[in-house]
Amino acid sequence: MFRSVLGTGVLVRTVHSVLTWAVTLVLFLHDTDLWRQDDTEKMFRPLCFVFLVLFSVVLYFVVSLMDPGYVLSDCDEKFHLLVTNKESDGMIVENPNLVSLRRCGYCLLKQPMRARHCKSCQHCVRRFDHHCPWIENCVGEKNHPLFILYLCVQLLVLLWAFHLGWSGFLSEATWKEWLKVNVFLLAAFVLTCIFTLVVSLLLVSHLYLISCNTTTWEFMSHHRIAYLKHCDSDTNPFDKGIIRNLWSFFCTFGTVAWERMYYRESYATV
């Protein structure tokens, strides 16, 4: 289920961990809102903040190291073979929208629908979304929900850190003195602002795509994907409505037979 910690992404994971704990340390060493409370609850906020940071780091490593949904053997073609022809009122109706399952040119395995080969991971990934350089892993069918949870927790940590950083700046008579006193807090604050913006945009875009039951790869390459070429840019054969899409994404466990859904929707238009 999990890959080796000492893989190709060890440098990226190290940088992530160092930056996270360095910013946390800077916030703890300055007079921020973490310490401005009654003596009876003096350690409550700091402990909550550390726990939230630790939770985000654990989620990061889980998403980074887990199997995103690698295709390890030829996919089951029974759904494709069963729907090659459909009998209707004594006649055989051929569907022009049928798509042959593709054999990957790199790992030589039959790809299930919505899978794509990742050159960085050197595997085909089920329901491939994208390869994320920050986690040095693909985001696919198995780890996509946890990736969204990680983004939510990370955004909460960043927003809290933004507030703490802003509250910790000290006033000085001149800009030179102010910069000398607040230089480390300012660096931490700038990093927090940058990552808050990036994570916010990433989370919003992913939630939108999930609500449409599409992936980043499908959204960006709609016109080049065999099973989507015949569809309009606004048409998605996997879309079941926002509520059902969100429910399926967050509450479905295990491998999904996307061929069944795709061909059912295709025949509904015949």
Q: Terminal CA-to-CA distance of the chain, rounded, Å?
A: 41
Confidence band, pLDDT 50/70/90 cuts, at residue 104: confident
Average pLDDT over every residue of 42-49: 86
* 24 vs 1, higher pLDDT: 24
Q: What separation in angstroms does the CA of 211 have from each of 121, 162, 202, 229? A: 27, 29, 14, 21
Task: State the CB neighbour count (10 A cutoff) for residue 67.
Answer: 19
Residue 132 annotated as catalytic: yes
- Residues in CB range of 6: below 8 A, 6 or more apart: none
Q: Which residues of 5-34 are buried (b: 16+ CB within 10 A; e: fewer)?
A: eeeebeebbeebeeebeebbebbeebebeb
Instruction: Provide the pLDDT for residue 152.
Output: 97
pLDDT at 34 > cutoff 70: yes
Task: Give percent above pLDDT 70 in the chain.
Answer: 83
DSSP secondary structure letter of residue 257: -
pLDDT at 80 > cutoff 60: no
* 257 vs 204, higher pLDDT: 204
Q: E strands along the chain, which residues?
A: 86-88, 91-93, 116-118, 123-125, 130-132, 137-139
pTM here?
0.86
Average pLDDT over every residue of 84-89: 44
Instruction: Provide the pLDDT for residue 90.
Output: 40
When mean pLDDT is compared across 2-11, 98-107, 173-182, the lowest value belongs to 2-11
Average pLDDT over every residue of 91-108: 64
Average pLDDT over every residue of 48-64: 96
pLDDT at 86 > cutoff 60: no
Average pLDDT over every residue of 52-56: 97
Q: Note the pLDDT tens digit of each residue in 208-225.
A: 999 999 999 999 988 888
User: Per the residue annotation, which of 75, 118, 121, 132 is the catalytic one?
Assistant: 132
76: its two tokens: 């089951």
